[in-house]
Structure 1
Amino acid sequence: MTLSLNSNRLSLSLFFLQDVIVGFLYSILILIFFLPVLDLIDSFNLTCRYAPLMIVSLHLGLGLFSFNLDTWSTSRGDTAQILGTGAGIALASHVNHLLGLMPDPTPDQLPLTMPALNARLVAVALLRLVLGVLVLVATRALMKALTIPLVCRVFGVPSADVRKARQHMEVELPYRYIVYGMVGFNVLFLVPLLFSYAQFS
């Protein structure tokens, strides 16, 4: 019995190690192709008037492509969550640039210096953390409460059992995409805006 448990642990550890190695190699491969064009992509996302449409379409298309599975899997929801968060952050960057919020530091402000550590700085940092987390938790709860019944109604899926309803691709993809898209958007737009209004910066 003990030998069986130890061999199971060993095989799980090896699979985990293989996943980490393959993920690392994929990251290097992605960087090789995308690193030369990152500035171009960033400039497009910030300045092009059609960037929001492209951002939403691209992330949604990637989500639909990755959802080509016959059976329900938690990885589908995780993929939609990652894509939704990325889309929300990219949209927030575009809006911040459009409204002139969070500008890049000017050359005379560089290099940035670390402020002196004192009680006020720690208190402000903790206050920002609590306020930010509260806003994001509230965003997630509100969007979840609105999105699941709406998506179930649109696609004719019974919404009495939320867990069972979310096992349908047509519910899980928009639910995760919309909810975490809003969370990502608020991370980079609404929360910093609240900080600036509350003079927590």
Structure 2
Amino acid sequence: MESFSVKFWNVIERLKEPSLVLKVQNCFGVLPRKKLGCDISNLKSEKSRRSLDHAENLCDLDDVDSNKLTDGLNGVGGYSDLNKEKAPWNRGIELSSVSSRKQGRDHNHGGSSVQDTRVAAGDALSSESDSETKDYVVTNRFWYYLFCLGTALGDEIFYASFIPFWFWNIDGAVGRRVVLVWAITMYIGQGIKDIVRWPRPASPPVFRLQKKWALEYGMPSTHAMVGASIPLSVILYTMDRYQYSIICGVLFAMVWCSVVCMSRLYLGMHSVLDIVAGLVLVLLLMVPLIPLVDAMDHFCLTHKHSPLLLSTAAVLMVIYSPSGDRWTPTRGDTTVVLGVSLGVHVGAWTNYHSGAMQELFPKPSLPHAILWPSYEMMGLMLLRTALGFSCIVATRAICKWASYATLRAVLLGTNKSPNEPSTSRAEVAVELGYKFFTYAAVGFNTLYLLPGAFRLLRIERPTFYTEI
């Protein structure tokens, strides 16, 4: 009779199998071309050729338009995490099946001998795969668009829009707590990835519909962790503040989390075990985190030395965050999360200690009724959002340029272009440093400078400075 440990590890190995991911992909309409008898060279109709070319590029975040969107948190114009992944030597593993148009574009980046060397490097780094091709066809566009939306709910573009929008238009007290939960869960999840170092599902047999995080390890899925922690924390921190159906909130959170998790299987980026581990881990973390974050938020807001303490803790967490045996985007992403969280809480602290933020007396009775916004409120919300996002983009661009140039001049004695890869510890320090300062400034402006500007323009949300 097998012992419990043997059975347990058998289950673990079963959940790691790429065949389970492939079954999910087949179930939702991602099928091999050979199975459909589809050969691009035999297509006679130009319309059919364009349709298949679109299908083979579905959800490939190497496309230019997607880069413009996701660049919002990853470094526009610099040698960012995303730029590293879209580089020819990281995409070279696909050259056996990609169209001649893409081949020509890749060869424009460098000579053939350099390209061959980088292809070999890409093979070794992306996953446990002998080759990674696009021999698949997406037969159901509904599932494709739904799961691309789902994966975006755990992506940079979502953080860049959700966090500012929530503070400017909904509830700052809840927002600060949700940001703390997000930062802690992401830091733990990203750290475990570089400690465990389990690869993503092998391709083949899995179809890799997304390449963006191919260099990262896969265990646990931080998309699953964020997809569960953000809606769950929103419910737990709003259920006593607002009048709404908790059942509807829980159902919405379950649908949200399910779409995010299934999207990672559908795109071939995680095994079933990665998803399950992420969900179990975040549920275990939420038990102590919810009351702990409440206390942390009050301390960060009211203690006179909290900016110094938070800055010291954040810098130490960046310096001593786990790192893998090779370069991955994980550490840079962790730095971005910590920078945003620090900026948000320092901005809120500045509001409180400058006297701008004051609690209402007598305190209003809780929970508040949720009122449907009037046309005037909707207009002001759209105006705040448009002005705010424009300023955030400008803040990010200016701070990135200034911090990168300053750090490179101080640490390396040169102002070399950020498009060149980081090869030394000093260059890694420059990369992490400019991300940390840039996104700390973005978080600070989101909570302090922009709400102040909204007040001067008389378009602020009336309760923003009372939400303690």
Q: Same fold (TM over 0.5)?
A: yes
For each residue in 1:95-121, what CA deviation from the matched residue of structure 2 results, as whole angstroms up to 9, or x when unmatched?
121123343455236543445543322
Between 155-164 and 120-129, report the one with greater CA deviation: 155-164
**Greater helix proportion:** 1
The residue aligned with 2:348 is 93
Distance 1:48-1:127 versus aligned 2 partners, 3 A rule = same
1:149 matches 2:400: no
The residue aligned with 1:194 is 453
The residue aligned with 2:379 is 123
Distance 1:110-1:29 versus aligned 2 partners, 3 A rule = closer
Q: Distance in 1 between matches of 2:274 and 2:206?
A: 16
For each residue in 1:77-104, what CA deviation from the matched residue of structure 2 results, as whole angstroms up to 9, or x when unmatched?
1111001001111111211211233434
1:75 matches 2:327: no
The alignment's TM-score, normalised by the length of structure 2, stands at 0.39
Q: Is the 8 A contact 1:85 1:181 kept in 2?
A: yes
1:162 matches 2:360: no
The residue aligned with 1:173 is 432
The runs of 5 or more residues in structure 1 that have no matched partner are none
Given residue 177 of structure 1, which amino acid in structure 2 is its aligned partner? F
Post-superposition offset of 1:150: 0.4
Between 151-160 and 62-71, report the one with greater CA deviation: 62-71
The residue aligned with 1:9 is 207
Larger Rg: 2
Among 306, 309, 314, the alignment partner of 1:54 is 309
Q: Distance in 1 between matches of 2:452 and 2:327?
A: 38
Q: Distance in 2 between matches of 1:43 and 1:189?
A: 17
Given residue 444 of structure 2, which amino acid in structure 1 is its aligned partner? F
Q: Distance in 2 between matches of 1:20 and 1:103?
A: 42
Post-superposition offset of 1:72: 3.1
The alignment's TM-score, normalised by the length of structure 1, stands at 0.85
Q: Distance in 2 between matches of 1:128 and 1:182?
A: 19
Q: Distance in 1 between matches of 2:378 and 2:356?
A: 25
The residue aligned with 2:294 is 39
1:22 matches 2:277: yes
Q: Distance in 2 between matches of 1:75 and 1:14?
A: 15
Q: Distance in 2 between matches of 1:87 and 1:94?
A: 11
Post-superposition offset of 1:15: 1.8
Q: Distance in 1 between matches of 2:411 and 2:332?
A: 17
Q: Is the 8 A contact 1:67 1:169 kept in 2?
A: no
Q: Is the 8 A contact 1:157 1:165 kept in 2?
A: no
Given residue 63 of structure 1, which amino acid in structure 2 is its aligned partner? V
Distance 1:175-1:17 versus aligned 2 partners, 3 A rule = farther
Post-superposition offset of 1:200: 0.7
Q: Distance in 2 between matches of 1:143 and 1:14?
A: 32
Given residue 30 of structure 1, which amino acid in structure 2 is its aligned partner? L
1:183 matches 2:438: no
Q: Is the 8 A contact 2:323 2:331 kept in 1?
A: no
Post-superposition offset of 1:179: 0.1
Given residue 100 of structure 1, which amino acid in structure 2 is its aligned partner? G
Given residue 163 of structure 1, which amino acid in structure 2 is its aligned partner? N
The structure with higher relative contact order (CA 8 Å, sep 6+) is 1
Paired residue total: 201
For each residue in 1:119-172, what CA deviation from the matched residue of structure 2 results, as whole angstroms up to 9, or x when unmatched?
322221111111100111111011011011101011116433212255631111
Q: Is the 8 A contact 2:392 2:446 kept in 1?
A: yes
Between 108-117 and 128-137, report the one with greater CA deviation: 108-117
